[in-house]
């Protein structure tokens, strides 16, 4: 059983690493778009069409692709001055419960964003300048939230296993 969990976690970690790479590519894309837009606007008097939309959508995707890696490494902002006074086992129980709450919250969010994507697809909603369909972005965001939720589940399992660990 532990072997299956370890394999699943390895696969999830590879997906999270790929998401981090994609997030980095979106950051580079945004930087290039803004640079070309400013250069075109100032030197050629011809800005890039749709820069605002592409920056907006790229920034959203950048954030959502980076959430799971940030959570895996524990790089979120935390306020734990009270928790520092707990015993090690109590910290792991509390962190495990928090991870479960995070998982359910993320799955709830993913479901609603996916439903919004379906509605946007039915209505054929597009961006104003480039007429890009919005629903694929919402589907991708839903997927990234599910990966984030799976990361939280594995962290919860780790915390709960440390509670019952005899060492």
Q: What is the pLDDT of residues 41-59, one digit of tens each?
A: 888 888 888 899 999 999 9
pLDDT surpasses 80 at 77: no
For 16-166, list the strands marked E by DSSP: none
Residues forming beta bridges with residue 133, ordered by sequence position: 126
Q: Read off φ and ψ for residue 46, nearest 5 degrees.
A: -145, 95
- pLDDT over threshold 70, residue 39: yes
Whole-angstrom distance, CA of residue 161 vs CA of residue 167: 11
Give the dihedral of Cα atoms 66, 72, 73, 78; nearest 10 deg.
90
pLDDT band of 167, cuts 50, 70, 90: low
What's the CA gap between 38 and 59, in Å, rounded?
A: 18
Task: Please tell me what DSSP assigns to residue 1.
Answer: -
Angle between helices 135-164 and 2-43 (to 10 degrees): 140
pLDDT tens digits for range 124-166: 999 998 999 999 999 999 999 999 999 999 999 999 988 887 6
**Could you tell me the residue ranges of all domains in the chain?**
2-164
CA distance 7 to 12: 9
Return the pLDDT at 164: 85
Higher pLDDT among residues 13 and 164, named by residue:
13
pLDDT band, residue 67 (cuts 50/70/90):
very high
Q: How far apart are CA 62 and CA 136, in angstroms?
A: 15
- CA distances to 71, 137, 156 from 121, in Å: 30, 11, 35
The arithmetic mean of pLDDT across residues 56-67, rounded, is 95
Please identify which residue in the block is written with the tokens 């959502």. 64
Q: Tell me, rounded to whole angstroms, the distance of Cα 52 from its chain centroid.
A: 22
Which of the pair, 6 or 142, is modelled with greater confidence?
A: 142
pTM over 0.85: yes
Question: C-alpha 90: how far from its chain's center?
Answer: 28
* CA end-to-end distance (rounded Å), the chain: 21
pLDDT attached to residue 166 = 61
Instruction: Say what the pLDDT of residue 24 is.
Output: 96
CA-wise closest residue to 62 among 151, 137, 147:
137
Average pLDDT, the chain: 91
């Amino acid at each position: 059983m532990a072997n299956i969990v370890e394999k699943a976690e390895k696969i999830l970690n590879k997906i999270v690493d790929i998401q981090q790479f994609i997030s980095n590519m979106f950051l580079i894309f945004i930087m290039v778009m803004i640079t070309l837009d400013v250069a075109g606007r100032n030197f050629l008097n011809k800005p890039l069409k749709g820069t605002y939309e592409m920056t907006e959508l790229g920034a959203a995707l950048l954030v959502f692709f980076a959430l799971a890696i940030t959570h895996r490494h524990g790089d979120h902002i935390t306020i734990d001055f009270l928790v520092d006074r707990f015993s090690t086992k109590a910290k792991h129980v509390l962190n495990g419960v928090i991870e479960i709450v995070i998982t359910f919250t993320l799955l709830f969010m993913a479901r609603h964003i996916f439903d919004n994507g379906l509605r946007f697809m039915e209505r054929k909603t597009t961006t104003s300048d480039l007429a890009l369909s919005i629903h694929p972005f919402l589907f991708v965001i839903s997927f990234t939230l599910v990966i984030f939720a799976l990361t939280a589940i594995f962290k919860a399992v780790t915390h709960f296993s440390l509670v019952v660990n005899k060492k």
